[in-house]
Amino acid sequence: MLTLECPYCGVKAEETELQAGGEAHLKRYGPGASDEEFEGYLFMRKNPKGVHFERWRHAYGCGKWFLAARCTATLEVFGTYPAQSTQPPVDLQAKIKAKRPNWEGYK
């Protein structure tokens, strides 16, 4: 059972307090988007073995959504940050790069 620190209330929350929300930093495509763009938005996920950015909600705590950078293989948590982020914080990216030199970046 994972523990993730909620960046809003500062609680190191147990997984039972959290709700998983899948991959983070997806771009929404709506009407006007091509079939390929929309398919990518709706279905295509990175599902990496390694560094992954994900959405979590502190559902049974403060109720806020936040984002987490986590290694899916070792379960190491590199950091959590507010959902209102268009990309992972620069210092977090640097921290991950230092720990995982072969990491290709979040894009």
Judged by beta carbon, residue 32 or residue 105, the one nearer another protein is: 32
Beta strands in 8-76 (DSSP E): 12-14, 19-23, 51-57, 65-71
> Residue 70, Cα to own-chain centre: how many angstroms?
7
Per CB under 8 A, does 48 bind another protein? no
Contact 5, 56 (CB under 8 A): no
Exactly one of 3, 60, 94, 104 binds another protein (CB under 8 A); that residue is 3
Please list the residues that pair with 20 across neighbouring strands.
Answer: 56
Q: Which two tokens stand for residue 104?
A: 């290709």
Q: Does 55 bind another protein (CB under 8 A)?
A: yes
Whether 83 and 65 have beta carbons less than 8 Å apart is answered as: yes
Size, binding site for another protein by CB under 8 A: 31
Which is nearer to another protein, 83 or 90 (by Cβ)? Answer: 83
Minimum Å distance from CB 30 to another protein? 5
| Identity of the residue numbered 80 | T
Question: Could you list the residues that contact another protein (CB under 8 A)?
Answer: 1-4, 14-15, 19, 21, 28-33, 35, 38, 42, 55, 57, 59, 63-65, 71, 74-77, 83-84, 99
